[in-house]
Amino acid sequence: MESKSFVGVVKLDLSLRMVDGMDCTVASRFYGPGWCGGEPFFVAGDPNNPTAEEDDGYLVTYVHNENVGESKFLVMDAKSPMLDIVAVVKLPCWTPCGFHGIFLSESDLNKL
């Protein structure tokens, strides 16, 4: 049976497709059997650095294991070819697959 959940995330460089017509996948992370993820979100490593590369930062998402009912918050290195996990937080309650989040800087939050 094919899963309708997000079972991983891939990073694409669309400029590669334009140059040689090849696969533009430059990084990927699959969550593993039973795990599904929410919508990934990019968090800049230093949002105030205008010279930072576009992937200087972290990819964050919620994941849930449908087999054991465990949920985690993952932080991945956005520059890594395997989107290496740099931090994991076990969540105290179930977080559904496809859960959406929003992340704001302190200055943006203060504007609300």
Query: pLDDT per position in the chain (112 positions), as tens?
Result: 455 678 999 998 888 876 666 688 889 999 999 999 888 989 999 988 999 998 999 999 999 998 898 999 999 999 999 999 999 999 998 877 766 667 677 888 888 8
The identity of residue 61, as a single letter, is T
What are the DSSP calls for 56-99, one per residue? -EEEEEEEEETTTTEEEEEEEETTSTT--EEEEEE-SS---TT-
Model-wide pTM > 0.85: no
pLDDT of residue 1: 44
**Domains defined along the chain, listed by start:** 8-110 (3.10.450)
Q: Whole-angstrom Cα distance, residue 75 to residue 78?
A: 9
Both tokens of 86, joined, read 């740099």
Tell whether residue 100 is among the known ligand binding residues.
yes
Indicate the helix (H) or strand (E) that contains 16: helix 14-20
Both tokens of 40, joined, read 């990934």
